[in-house]
């Protein structure tokens, strides 16, 4: 294969340095010759928006009778929509699987806290591949894959980092997982490329504003009048709890739903307004037709299921569809069709190979991914797409109990059936709400799914590298120590208990 100026050996060394692991464990990834690529000279800018705890039913365009999401509804109209798209049942697992193209357990991520949220340093991320293919890369908002410096986004392929710690603003736990002390949704302290900045405003507004400022810098022509392609990862911590919502947004729903639901929906409408500002900025910068915008969420709804859950059973943290089926909108004006639904079974692990193909890069033999490139489906909803199985496991077992939790809060599904907890089978074509257990009616299906799950479990069990890490973390988490080093006057005095606003 003809190579670009960046030789494979150089790229291999680059990825090994980024991941801070021995060279021998990193799989070679080879950029193809851009002049020969089908996407020659047209690497799209990619903006991924991933919200936190918003479900499939928390959008007006999906039938929610209460919520107001006009800008996301517009994005829906102008996009290819993956309507049977699945993620993991909680947040850090989804992010690990998406970035690596492999199930979260293969990355050592089996929880959202207790050092079990830390993505393996052996994992290669698609941001590393995009960066090697000439992309500028930035993250704005939630990371949740390790708060220690060697696990920050800047070590995983991101040039620009503007993040909070832990799984939510203000959250802290014993060990390494924690945000800046006393942080709140309003005026939060944010880690910007290794230094805390004290911001002004509501967290979601802050993250989108910083992302748009960064995009504007990337949109300016570089040498020889060419723009450098960019990947922008916008990951607000909202509408994750605590449900701290700007009053004017909460007021839109007061009296229409319960108080917590009013705050939850208000946080989503605030996201929606920011999406509208982002789309307007792309048009203003004249890069709208050069930019692929993707919208998704990291798991099923945490709060909105009692109002509307699109007919699905379960919510965040369950093995049912209500925890895993989420929106996935792909908007690229002039290149992808608009208003098209793709009904094939797709997942977050498909993003890695999709982005590699769109960037004109090529993965060499040896890198094992669980995902497939979505490019054929994005171009043609009826493209050939063989059936597959996807595994969901909520994880979160007690320390040292992984082997005993094999069938706890799990499911394995194909495009028609889902086997839940090894004892319930649902025919999703006839029973989308997963209400009627038909396990006795389809013994062959059950046998096939159990066999596939057994093989999967044997594969992932030895890869859960963080299972013994809890209890061996630092006495004070990294974000606290770094914050107090920068702002020593705010360090609690001896005997004074540090107040925490997170949950």
pLDDT digits (tens, 9 = 90+) for 293-316: 999 999 999 999 999 999 999 999
Q: Quickly count: other Cβ atoms within 10 Å of residue 193's Cβ.
A: 14
| pLDDT at residue 47 is higher than 60 | yes
Q: Evaluate whether 45 touches 138 at the Cβ level (below 8 Å).
A: no
Beta-sheet pairing, 328-331 with 291-297 = antiparallel
pLDDT, the chain, mean: 90
Q: Quickly count: other Cβ atoms within 10 Å of residue 89's Cβ.
A: 28
| pLDDT at residue 39 is higher than 60 | no
CATH code linked to domain 38-379: 3.40.720.10
- Produce one character per residue of 145-184: b if its CB has 16 or more CB atoms within 10 Å, e if not: bbbbeebbbbbbbbbbbbbbbbbbbbbbbbbbbbbbbbbb
pLDDT digits (tens, 9 = 90+) for 152-175: 999 999 999 999 999 999 999 999
For Cα atoms 99, 101, 328, give the angle at the middle one, nearest 5 degrees: 75
| pLDDT at residue 21 is higher than 50 | no
**Closest listed residue to residue 138, CA positions, set 69, 229, 201, 224:** 229
Could you name the CATH architecture of 403-463?
2-Layer Sandwich (3.30)
Mean pLDDT, residues 221-242: 88
Q: Where do the domains of the chain lie?
A: 38-379, 403-463
Helix (H) or strand (E) holding 128: helix 126-132
The 8 Å CB, 24+ separation contacts for 198-207 are 202/246, 202/270, 203/164, 203/169, 203/236, 203/237, 203/238, 204/236, 204/237, 204/238, 204/267, 204/270, 204/271, 204/274, 205/270, 205/274, 207/140, 207/141, 207/162, 207/234, 207/235, 207/236
Residue 417 backbone phi and psi in degrees, to 5? -115, 150
Q: Evaluate whether 381 touches 340 at the Cβ level (below 8 Å).
A: yes
């Amino acid at each position: 294969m003809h190579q670009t100026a960046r030789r494979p050996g150089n790229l291999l060394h680059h990825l090994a340095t980024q991941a801070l692991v021995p060279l021998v464990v990193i799989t070679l990834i080879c950029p193809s010759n851009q002049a020969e690529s089908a996407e020659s000279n047209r690497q799209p800018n990619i903006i991924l928006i991933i919200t936190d705890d918003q479900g499939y039913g928390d959008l007006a365009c999906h039938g929610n009778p209460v919520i107001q999401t006009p800008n996301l509804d517009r994005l829906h109209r102008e996009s290819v929509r993956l309507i049977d798209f699945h993620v993991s049942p909680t947040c850090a697992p989804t992010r690990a699987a998406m970035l690596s193209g492999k199930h979260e357990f293969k990355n050592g991520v089996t929880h959202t806290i207790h050092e079990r949220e830390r993505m393996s340093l052996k994992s290669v991320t698609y941001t590393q591949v995009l960066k090697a293919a000439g992309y500028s890369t930035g993250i704005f908002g939630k990371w949740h894959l390790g708060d220690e410096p060697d696990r920050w986004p800047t070590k995983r392929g991101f040039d620009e980092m503007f993040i909070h710690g832990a799984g939510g603003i203000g959250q802290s736990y014993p060990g390494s997982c924690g945000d800046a002390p006393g942080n709140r949704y309003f005026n939060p302290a944010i880690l910007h490329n290794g230094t805390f900045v004290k911001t002004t405003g509501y967290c979601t507004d802050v993250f989108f504003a910083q992302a748009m400022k960064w995009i504007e810098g990337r949109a300016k022509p570089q040498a020889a009048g060419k723009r450098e392609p960019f990947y922008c990862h916008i990951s607000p911590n909202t509408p994750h709890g605590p449900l701290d919502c700007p009053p004017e947004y909460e007021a839109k729903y007061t009296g229409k739903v319960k108080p917590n639901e009013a705050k939850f929906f208000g946080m989503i409408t605030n996201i929606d307004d920011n999406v509208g500002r982002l789309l307007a900025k792309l048009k203003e910068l004249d890069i709208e037709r050069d930019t692929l915008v993707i919208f998704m969420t990291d798991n099923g709804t945490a709060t909105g299921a009692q109002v509307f859950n699109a007919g699905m059973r379960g919510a965040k943290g369950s093995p049912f569809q209500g925890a895993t089926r989420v929106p996935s909108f792909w908007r690229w004006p002039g290149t992808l069709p608009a208003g098209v639904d793709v009904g094939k079974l797709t997942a977050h692990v498909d993003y890695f190979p999709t982005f590699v193909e769109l960037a004109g890069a090529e993965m060499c033999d040896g890198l094992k991914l669980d995902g497939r490139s979505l490019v054929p489906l994005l171009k043609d909803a009826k493209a050939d797409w063989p059936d597959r199985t996807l595994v969901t496991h909520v994880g979160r077992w007690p320390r040292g109990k992984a082997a005993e939790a094999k069938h706890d809060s799990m499911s394995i599904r194909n495009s028609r059936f889902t086997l839940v907890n090894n004892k319930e089978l649902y025919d999703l074509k006839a029973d989308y709400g997963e209400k009627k257990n038909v396990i006795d009616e389809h013994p062959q299906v059950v046998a096939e799914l159990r066999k596939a799950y057994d093989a999967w479990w044997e594969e992932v069990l030895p890869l859960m590298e963080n299972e013994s890490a809890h209890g061996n973390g630092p006495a004070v988490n990294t974000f606290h120590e770094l914050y107090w080093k920068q702002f020593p006057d705010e360090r609690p005095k001896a005997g004074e208990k540090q107040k925490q606003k997170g949950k």
